[in-house]
Amino acid sequence: MADIKLDDILVEVALRLSGHRNASDMVAQALSEYIDRLQHRELMSFFTDPPAFPADEKTVRPGGD
């Protein structure tokens, strides 16, 4: 798919810690976990961020009153 340059030391350490036999499997798992974390953050912000309300009350009223 894409040819990317990774820091060899980071890859070596990550391989040792992860227990994966090759970098492709390790990167696939890392990307999957990264996506899960981003989706979780997006979902949590839906529940924790206050809704955005217009600053001007006139824009909220129907009919422009």
- Degrees, nearest 5: CA angle 7-1-40: 75
pLDDT confidence tier of residue 4, bands split at 50, 70 and 90: confident
pLDDT confidence tier of residue 1, bands split at 50, 70 and 90: low
Report the pLDDT value the prediction gives residue 49, as an integer from 0 to 100.
77
Q: pLDDT tens-digit profile of 18-46?
A: 999 999 999 999 999 999 999 999 988 88
26 neighbors 20 (Cβ within 8 angstroms): yes
Report the pLDDT value the prediction gives residue 14, as an integer from 0 to 100.
95
The domains of the chain are located at 11-47
Mean pLDDT (the chain, rounded): 84
How many C-beta atoms surround the C-beta of residue 7 within 10 A? 9
48 neighbors 59 (Cβ within 8 angstroms): no
